[in-house]
Amino acid sequence: MSETQGSETQRAWEGAPPVLVVDDDPAMRAGLRQWMRLAGFTPIEAVDAETGLDRITAEFPGCIVSDVLLPGASGLDLLRRAKEIDPDLPVVLLTGHGDVAMAVEAMRQGAADFIEKPFDPDVVAAVVRRAVDHRRLVLENRALTRRLEDLQGLEARLIGESPEMRRLREEIAHYAATEASVLIIGETGTGKEVVARALHELSPRAQGPFVAVNCAALPDTMVEAELFGHEAGAFTGADRERPGRIEQADGGVLFLDEIVSMPLALQPKLLRALQEREVDRLGGRGPVPVDLRVVSAANTDPHAAVADNRLRADLLYRLNAVEIRIPPLRERGGDVHLLFDRFLNRFAADYGSARPVLSDEDLAFLASHTWPGNVRELRNLAERFVLATPMGPVSLSTLASGARDRTGAVARGRLKDLMEAHERRIIADALSRHDGSIAAVLEELDLPRRTLNEKMSRLGISRQG
């Protein structure tokens, strides 16, 4: 059972924790059933160990009360196998044979308690209540540990110590475990896809696909075919069937980036697909069921888009069961310097260069710049700083403005080294501007693919920077 399913199961029992009663005597089961209900528990009954164990998972939020003498496997066997499922599952054993040695063995194997028949129902209820309370604490501690582990993993991807970033990581760790649709709102360059991928990777769907669709990048004439797919012959050029992006996300997460740019005429069909969890391919003969979670993103206020008739209100309500807002870089205080420092170390290692030293003027610029391009702009500036510094002194403000070094200094050194540094900077800048798209860089620089590949290999340039 997944963490999400376990949490849902636990919530379902809140107020009346479950108690698995295992006994082959109908009269004893009836008595225990009545006593458990009166004590505020939900009894679940089984006549033997096998049947009882089939109803237990590592997330079971209650305890087991079992007779020792059962048909087939004994209560001690049930105890051992329950501990294999979860060492912390509480098991209370009942016996009509006051066997001290058996009681000692049961406690040695981890029984929560051992009660001899005939017994006082109030005593059994008190023992069960202690066991269930302990079980609740165990599961709460596990959930807290998992959440802390998730937060530690997020710190490597979403760097920052500002209160805003701490809150963001906590929200991601919390909502990742749910199936709720999430709408991520943030300015361009704040890392909306990074957040979407984190929601996927920390979720029970982590082993499923993550399918990203940039709604703003798809031509209007192709959006429907891209999202919903098509059968062979559905339109000119459709020589074979092709599942759409929604269908490709089956079992995983569909990420709809720039959702406000979705053509208005297509939004009702998208809404229906998300509500019914099925898609109709172009030219298809019937709906195709899909099982997915939807995460979307917008770089403008989606509620304003509804008011401007660019986004349907009913589609927004389907997408924003949860809204996660990413703070712009200008609101993150000291995170700017922390991030820039990390980027400098990374690019210096990638390009085999010395790490540039920041001047007081550079530090002042980092603190005062408004960063309209957010983290993407900061990352690009760090990369340009690493590449440009070997050619001579340059300030961050100069690089950020796109101007040449105002000092007029001329870089010195071997012509071959200077040319390679210049070439490396041009290619790296192009890759950064186009988010690693080789096709876009080839078009901008007017280079054959083989030539670009050779230069990137020789100059030590990675596609992602």
pLDDT of 401 reads: 81
Q: pLDDT tens digits for 379-419?
A: 999 999 999 888 888 889 888 887 544 344 444 455 666 67
Q: pLDDT tens digits for 145-163?
A: 666 566 566 777 788 889 9
pLDDT of 256 reads: 95
pLDDT of 415 reads: 62
Identify the residue whose tokens are 């959930």. Answer: 143
Residues 6 or more apart whose CB falls under 8 angstroms from that of 223 comprise: 215, 262, 263, 266
Nearest to 228 by CA among 183, 269, 181, 261: 269
DSSP letters, 351-364, are HT-PPPPPPHHHHH
- pTM of the shown model: 0.59
pLDDT of 8 reads: 41
Distance between CA atoms of 236 and 292, rounded to whole angstroms?
A: 30
Q: With a cut of 70, say whether residue 363 has pLDDT above it.
A: yes
Q: What is the dihedral of CA 141, 145, 147, 149, to 10 degrees?
A: 180
**Phi, psi dihedral angles at 114 (to 5 degrees):** -140, 120
Q: Where are the domains of the chain?
A: 3-142, 158-327, 330-459
Q: With a cut of 60, say whether residue 11 has pLDDT above it.
A: no
Distance between CA atoms of 63 and 52, rounded to whole angstroms?
A: 12
- Equal fold, 3-142 vs 158-327: yes
Peptide bond connecting 118 to the previous residue in cis, omega within 30 degrees of 0: yes
**Phi, psi dihedral angles at 286 (to 5 degrees):** -175, 165
Give percent of the chain above pLDDT 90. 37
Helix 100-108 to helix 75-85 angle (10° resolution) is 10
CATH superfamily for 158-327 is P-loop containing nucleotide triphosphate hydrolases (3.40.50.300)
pLDDT of 118 reads: 82
175-135-4 Cα angle (round to 5): 20
Confidence of residue 5 (pLDDT cuts 50, 70, 90): very low
pLDDT of 336 reads: 93
3-state secondary structure labels for all residues of 17-30: CEEEEECCCHHHHH
CATH number for region 3-142? 3.40.50.2300
Q: pLDDT tens digits for 55-69?
A: 888 889 999 999 888
The 3-state DSSP class for residue 183 equals strand
Question: With contact defined as beta carbons under 8 Å apart, do 125 and 39 qualify?
Answer: yes
Distance between CA atoms of 299 and 276, rounded to whole angstroms?
A: 27
